[in-house]
Amino acid sequence: MTEGIFPLLGAAFVVLIVLPAFALLAKAGLVLLERDEAGGILHHLNLRYLLLTGSSVLPLAWFFSAGLHQAEGDKSAYACLFDHEATLCFEPGLFALTLGLVVVFLSRSVLRGLRGARPAHGAGVHVLARIEDVLAKHPRLRALRGRVVVTDEPGFALGTYGWIQPRVFIGVAFAARLSDDMLASALGHETEHVRSLDPLRYLLLQFALAVNPFGRFLLERHAARWYAAREAHCDREAVIRGALPLPLADAIVHAARPTNQQAVALGARDAGVLKFRIGLLLAFAERSPSRCCDRGPSAFSMSLVLLLLALLSPHETGTAALDALHTGAEQALTYLWP
Amino acid sequence: MDVVWSKHLTAFAVGEVLIVLEKQREIAYTTVMTTLSRLYDKGLLTRERDGKRYLYSPKLTREQFLESTAREVLDGAVGGHRAMAMLAEKLSDASADDLDELEALIRRRREELGQ
C-alpha cells in the first residue's frame, strides 16, 4: 500500500496543486505585461508565450525528469520500470509513468483535434500553377516553395498546418476570389507562420492549457489575446517583408467571410479583433511599420533552453522537491490509515 | 481623424478638413470646427494659435492610436482550441455587415492611393 501511494498522490499533487500554482504565477506575470499602456498587449509576445506554456510544461518536465532520475539507482530508467528486483527505484519510476499517463489523458482533446486539410483533385492544378507563378515573382516568399498545398475542402480559406515542416493549405474557391496582389500578400502573412513554426507553437500552447486543470480558467483569456496579437504581428512582419497592406487587408476580409456550407459562430467580439487588424493595415498603408513585438523564431531557442534546464536540473542539482513530495505522500497515508 | 491620417494633415486649419469632407458630403464649417475642438479636448489633436485661427496637428499616428486602444479591443478576443494558423477566423453570418463595411473601407483607401 505504502509503495503505491506516492506514484498516485504525488502525480495528483503535481497536477492539482503545483500546476495551478504555476498558472497563478504566470497569470500575475501576464497581467503585469499586458498592463503596459504603450501597446503592451501587442508586445512581449515571446515572453508571454513562455509564461503561458512554461507554467505547465516546465514543472511537468522537472517532476518527470526527477522521477526518472530517482528511478535510475545506478540502472537505466527502463530497467527501473520493468526489472522487479530494482525495488529502490520502483516508486519514482512509477510516479513518472503515472504523471505521463495523466498528462496524456488530460491532453486527449488536443490530440483528437489534430487533422490537416484534404489535398485537392483536378481543379487544384491550375491554382497551384498560379501560386507557383506568384512565389517565383516574389523572392520574399521563397520559404513557401514546395510547401503550398491546394485543397478543395468546402469553405476552406488559407491556413498553415504541420509542426516540424509546416505547409500552407489554400482553398481552391478562396484562391480564385483573390487577385495576384492579394494572394502574394496573404502568402506573405503565412510565411511568417511557417518561419516561426506557429502550428507547433499553437499546439504546445493548447497542450499546456489542457494539462493544467485550471489552465483554461486562469489563462485562456490571456492565450486568446496572445493569438490575436500574434496574428497582428504576422500582418506587420508580412508588410515589413514587402507585402502590400491593403491587398492583405482585403484577403483577410475575404478569408473571414463564411460560406454557405459553414455554420461557424465565433461571436461579434472577434469581429473587433478583425477590425483592429484591418485598422493596423490601413495605418501601414499610410506609414510603413517598424519591427516590433519580438521576432518569432527566437521563442523556440529560448523555450528549448528552458526545457533542457528543467529536464537536466534534477540530475545536476538534486531532487529535493520530489523527495519532500514522496515523504509527504507517505506521511499523508499514515494519517489517513494509521 | 480618418481624414487627418489618410491625407497626412499636419498643422492644418478647419478649412482644410472642410475641403476634404465637402467632397464626400454636405457639411457645415461650424460642424467641422466643433468636431476638431472636441478631438482636441479628447487629446487626439494638439493646436496652436495662428492669428485668429487655430492650427491643429494629430497627436498620434493612426498606428499609435490603434496600439493605445489595443487593450480594450483584444480584451474581448475569444479563445479557441486550435493547433493551426488561419489567415482569419470565419465569422458568424451576423457580422456580414461588418465585413461589407470593412471591404468598402479598404476599397475606398485603395482608390485614394491608386492601388
pLDDT at A117: 56
List, for residues A318-331, the tens digit of each pLDDT value: 777 877 777 777 77
Residue-range domain boundaries for chain A? 2-106+298-336, 123-210+218-286
The predicted pLDDT at position A240 comes to: 93
| Cβ-contact A254, A157 below 8 angstroms | yes
Q: What is the number of CB-based contacts under 8 A between chain A and chain B? A: 192
Chain A residues near residue B73 by CB distance under 8 angstroms: 272-273, 275-276
**A114, A251, A282 member nearest B62 (Cβ):** A282
Q: Is the pLDDT of residue A239 over 90?
A: yes
- Give contacts of A287 with chain B, Cβ < 8 Å: 61-63
Please report the residues numbered 66 through 105 in chain B whose beta carbons come closer than 8 angstroms to any beta carbon of chain A: 66-71, 73-96, 98-99, 102-103, 105
CA distance A8 to chain B (A): 29
Query: Which residues, other chains included, contact A319 with Cβ-Cβ below 8 Å and sequence gap of 6+?
Result: A66, A69, A70
The pTM for the full model equals 0.81
- Look at residue A268 and tell me whether its pLDDT is greater than 50: no
Note whether B43 contacts A: Cβ–Cβ < 8 A.
no
Cα of A63 to nearest chain B Cα, Å: 26
Task: Nearest by CB to B89, from A223, A244, A266: name it.
Answer: A266
Q: What is the CA radius of gyration of chain B?
A: 18
- Structure-derived torsion over alpha carbons of residues A299, A302, A303, A308, reported in degrees to the nearest 10: 160
Q: How confident is the model at residue A301 (pLDDT cuts 50, 70, 90)?
A: confident
Q: What pLDDT score was predicted for residue A80? A: 47
Chain B: nearest CA to A287, how far in angstroms? 9
Examine the pLDDT at A102 and tell me if it is beyond 90: no
What is the rounded average pLDDT for all residues in chain A? 80
- Distance in angstroms between the alpha carbons of the first and the last residue of chain A: 12
Cβ partners under 8 Å of residue A221, min gap 6: B75, B77, B79
Cβ separation B77–A285 shorter than 8 A: no
The mean per-residue pLDDT over the stretch A9-24 comes to 88
Mutate: best of B9, B90, B105, partner A, most A CBs <10 A: B90
pLDDT at position A269 over 50: no
Contact state of B91 with A256 under an 8 Å Cβ cutoff: yes
Please state the rounded mean pLDDT for residues A287-308: 77
Q: What dihedral angle (degrees, nearest 10) is formed by the CA atoms of A72, A77, A81, A84?
A: -50
CB A86 within 8 A of CB A334: no
Nearest CB among A271, A276, A285 relative to B113 is that of: A285
Mutate to test the interface with B, among A30, A161, A192, A273 (most CBs of B within 10 A): A273
Query: Which of the 8 DSSP states describes residue B114?
Result: T
Are the Cβ atoms of B63 and A273 closer than 8 angstroms? no
Q: Do B79 and A273 touch (CB under 8 A)?
A: no
Q: Which of the four pLDDT bands, split at 50, 70 and 90, describes residue A263? A: very low
Q: What is the mean pLDDT of residues A99-103?
A: 85
Q: Beta-carbon neighbour count of residue B17 at 10 Å?
A: 21
pLDDT-derived band of residue A247, with 50, 70 and 90 as boundaries? very high
Is residue A177 over pLDDT 70?
yes
The type of residue at A301 is S
Work out the minimum CA distance from A306 to partner chain B, whole angstroms.
Answer: 22
Tell me how far apart the alpha carbons of residues A223 and A236 are, in angstroms, rounded to a whole number.
Answer: 20
